Structure 1
Amino acid sequence: MENREQVVNSFPNSAYMEEKNPWQKCGILVVAIFGIIAVVALVVILVVQNMPLTQKYKYGIVLDAGSSHTTVFIYEWPAEKDNNTGRAKQKHACNVKGPGISSYAGAPWKAGQSLRDCMQEVEMTIPRKRHAETPLYLGATAGMRLLNLKNSSASEEVFRAVSDALQTFPFSYQGARILSGQEEGAYGWVTVNYLDDRLKQGLKTTGALDLGGASTQISFVSTTWDGVEAPANSVTFRLYGNDYNLYTHSFLCYGKDQALKMALAQQTRSGPGSINDPCFHPGYVETNNYSKLYDSPCVSDRKPQGAPATFQHTGIGNFQQCQDVVRTLFNFSQCKYSRCSFNGVHQPPVEGLFGAFSAYYYVMKFLNLNDMPYPLHKVKEKIANFCATPWEKVKEQNPKVKLEFLMTYCFTGTYLLTLLTEGYNFTSEMYSNIKFIHKIKGSDAGWTLGYMLNLTNMIPAEAPDTPPLPYGGYVAAVTITALILLFIVLLAVCAFRPGCHKRPHII
């Protein structure tokens, strides 16, 4: 027995030996390789999935052919999100030099020629590879509506010249047409609420007030009106899964330029050789031509018989008297509905917030009344003081403003205030709900974006689908999966390690 112990003790490293497996080293190597490959692959997927990619965009072009000028807008949106969650936004705007296309009735070719500089600018702005697929639209508003009423053949010639010019550019030309007043108002409402994310999020919408040179539009959702009383003023939309019953109306001839013509026609209805106009500054004197004043369909039937060729137009600058003149442009006596705005047009009570754009914004900006909600009495006071300012002093204080615009701000300020408060029935309290806006999140307020969104079907009727997991949930799920995989690999490696499963025995 002693001898046996001595033998055992004399060979300590041979007494207990680990069971050897000839495939052990090979198995460990294989598991380790596959584990490393799996982990590396998962990390690569995560990095590639979340690395920033170069954003690709699609584009659309809309020409706003207004009564006084034309503006070319470029819109862009993410290429992979055409009508789902991608936001269309304004990339660029170009103001066409010269008057609106309706002014070229006597020389239609000039209407097309006037667009070329801006269109060449557009051609350089949009990537060349996107040219052929970029839709190009031209929408004409009240200026062309009036020309079409006055001379339909001239209107057709202008459109032909404009179309010929636009088709020379490498875009997908979709045609030119006259928008109805209802369309102009409705698309302006869509633009304002789309840019403010109210449609997508199902929020309470904002009303839209648009004032151009030849027409003005009011559009809003009323909770007290179902469209039955005046169906011609009703437009129904289903956008992002929500239904909107929109009240909208356009007043042709009630844009700022045509309203001024109507005010002058009212004061010259007897054919005088001179008038003292309270809507122009004291010291303003100009000789006007009767034929030019009455060349618009808005006033052509009022031209006095036997009037001289010209009349002297003298300003006296009185806000109260100017309001009296402006009030004569509205007919408040006739209404066959439960309630009306003016001229016998039905309108439910205004409610909620409103965005006022186009000429509303530019006039109120000039008068420094656009940045904050001034009380109505302060607005009247400021316009009254401006109207009473002598013409020479007004010119001296505003040397950079074109005289053709500067001389009309007293009238236009008085007009738009009267239109809002007495025409549309905004009370002193409701007036504070009007915000005078130019841009929303970098895009101009107006009908053009809403028009393009409608024609390209970019606003879905139903709410877009969302992924089953939000981005944060997706990352968490992948991370947990990676940790589980790593844990399994470690277990497998441990299983093959010599120290993890010793089975000693005596030799």
Structure 2
Amino acid sequence: MGSSPKAVAVGCLLAVIVVSGIIALILAAVGVKGVYLPPGTKYGMVFDAGSSHTALYIYQWPADKENGTGIVSQAEACTVQGPGISSYAENPANAGASLRACLDKAMTIIPVEQQRETPTYLGATAGMRLLREQNSTKADLVFAEVSKTIQQYPVDFRGARILTGNEEGSFGWITINYLLETLVKFSFAGKWIRPQSAEVLGALDLGGASTQITFQPSGTIEDNSTKVFFRLYGTNYSVYTHSYLCYGRDQALKMLLAALRKAFSGFYYTFYFLNLTNGQPLSVINATIWGFCTKGWKELQASFPQEESHSRLHNYCPSAFYILTLLHEGYKFDEQMWSSIHFRQQAADTDIGWALGYVLNLTNMIPAEAPEQVKGQQRGLWAATIFFIVLTAAAALLAILIQCLWNPT
């Protein structure tokens, strides 16, 4: 007596289940190897609290590092509305309140699950240095208010402090050289390398209350107070840096008001307005400044109607002369050396300043995370494995349905 159609059908399905299940197991075990997942992303935030304004910079870098230092990029920049925090000495609560809009914006950029581990700093420069010298109690109250505001957000706040002039200059030096790829560069071979032929650049900065000069000298730095040491991407750097307090544009204005009754702007903005940021020689720059400054006021207004603020327009002349005097007479850049000066606001789509250099140096102290390893296999084998698993499950389900529901008469 032969087998019933039901038994034959179930038997065939059981055979399919066994064969496809064995094939799925074999495929799952073939070609499996360890695969490293791409490194996660770290975030950091720095408030650059200058004398005339404050800016919040949001940075990101891979959780692994290159020779101990992170490969950092700027994710976002936010300008805080209003003057610098030192201007709130008489109403410190407003200093804290002024930061909220940028902090709110940052919370929309940094993933929620990473916000509490995001190191956040506030670094103040010459404006707060001067306020501390004039009235340390008021300076402490301003810091207390900005700290209280930042601590209301889910970030890892590491404190608010005043940077020394040497720190401001040297961190700016790191920023410039990092962005222009003299410290580290991604090679054609797909690796980060130290450019052997690249010449490390010097950095000049003109702020509201101070000006800084920083460079790597060819000889020995005799005055230890002007020497700063860094280790970046496995290489040691010893740089000279000096900050001149009260020689920034705003403080220089105060010193010259009694004699000149004029005002000042910074390196880049002034020379950009005069179209002098394209590497023109010193003679051309000198002639351009004299030509601008000898124009009558009505002629200037007619030539530059887009300058809504008349005070800003009449500031360009004394500002340009101050910059020319500072660089030529103060720092001794002569006609031959002038071509080595480059006036920039950004490099590699990133704002130039001390904040990025601060974060780059900070990453040396943040432990690198080892890449996470998982098991994986080639796409074709993985697809075949899934097919036979699905086939096994479908055959098993069909066998159950036949066994339970099929009653041949």
TM-score of Structure 1 vs Structure 2, range by shorter chain: 0.7 to 0.9
The question of whether the paired residues in 1 share the 8 Å contact of 2:68 and 2:233 is answered with no
- Change over 3 Å in CA distance of 1:215–1:374 after alignment to 2: same
Give the corresponding residue for 2:207. 212
Deviation for aligned residue 1:85: 6.9
Give the corresponding residue for 1:241. 234
The question of whether the paired residues in 2 share the 8 Å contact of 1:89 and 1:442 is answered with no
Give the corresponding residue for 1:424. 331
Whole-angstrom CA distance in 1 between matches of 2:115 and 2:313: 40
User: Aligned-pair RMSD on alpha carbons?
Assistant: 3.2
Whole-angstrom CA distance in 2 between matches of 1:416 and 1:124: 40
Give the corresponding residue for 1:141. 125
SS at match of 2:59: strand
- Change over 3 Å in CA distance of 1:57–1:168 after alignment to 2: same
1:455 to 345, 355, 362: 362
The question of whether the paired residues in 2 share the 8 Å contact of 1:101 and 1:158 is answered with yes
Give the corresponding residue for 1:439. 346
- Change over 3 Å in CA distance of 1:405–1:459 after alignment to 2: farther
Whole-angstrom CA distance in 1 between matches of 2:127 and 2:154: 28
SS at match of 2:342: strand
- Change over 3 Å in CA distance of 1:219–1:134 after alignment to 2: same
Whole-angstrom CA distance in 1 between matches of 2:30 and 2:347: 44
Give the corresponding residue for 2:252. 259
The question of whether the paired residues in 2 share the 8 Å contact of 1:83 and 1:458 is answered with no
Residues 389-419 of structure 1: per-residue CA shift (max 9 Å, x gap): 2223333414245334322111111111110
1:152 to 125, 136, 142: 136
Give the corresponding residue for 2:152. 168
Whole-angstrom CA distance in 1 between matches of 2:220 and 2:205: 23
- Change over 3 Å in CA distance of 1:124–1:82 after alignment to 2: farther
2:279 matches 1:373: yes
The question of whether the paired residues in 2 share the 8 Å contact of 1:221 and 1:247 is answered with yes
2:165 to 181, 198, 203: 181
1:71 to 55, 64, 67: 55
Gaps of 5+ in 1: 1-28, 268-274, 281-325, 327-357, 465-478, 480-507
| TM-score calculated relative to the size of structure 1 | 0.62
Residues 24-55 of structure 1: per-residue CA shift (max 9 Å, x gap): xxxxx9xxx89x959x944x76xx969xx787
- Change over 3 Å in CA distance of 1:259–1:459 after alignment to 2: farther
The question of whether the paired residues in 2 share the 8 Å contact of 1:219 and 1:248 is answered with yes
Deviation for aligned residue 1:454: 2.0
Deviation for aligned residue 1:118: 1.1
2:291 matches 1:385: yes
SS at match of 1:235: strand
The letter of the residue matching 1:100 is G
Deviation for aligned residue 1:195: 1.9
Alignment of 1:80-479 (within 5 A): 80-81=64-65, 84=68, 86-200=70-184, 201-202=194-195, 203-223=198-218, 225-228=219-222, 230-265=223-258, 267=259, 359-370=266-277, 372-396=278-302, 397-457=304-364
The letter of the residue matching 1:118 is C
SS at match of 1:436: coil
Whole-angstrom CA distance in 2 between matches of 1:168 and 1:83: 35
Residues 92-127 of structure 1: per-residue CA shift (max 9 Å, x gap): 111111100000111111111111111111111211
The letter of the residue matching 1:379 is I
| TM-score calculated relative to the size of structure 2 | 0.76
Please identify the structure whose Cα radius of gyration is greater. Answer: 1
SS at match of 1:206: coil
Residues 254-287 of structure 1: per-residue CA shift (max 9 Å, x gap): 001111211123x1xxxxxxx7x6x68xxxxxxx
Residues 195-224 of structure 1: per-residue CA shift (max 9 Å, x gap): 22212315321100011010000000111x
Aligned residue pair count: 340
- Change over 3 Å in CA distance of 1:240–1:57 after alignment to 2: closer
- Change over 3 Å in CA distance of 1:168–1:375 after alignment to 2: same
Q: Which one has more relative contact order, counting CA pairs under 8 Å at least 6 apart?
A: 2
- Change over 3 Å in CA distance of 1:116–1:256 after alignment to 2: same
Residues 426-460 of structure 1: per-residue CA shift (max 9 Å, x gap): 11111100111111212111100111222332699
SS at match of 2:203: strand
The letter of the residue matching 1:227 is I
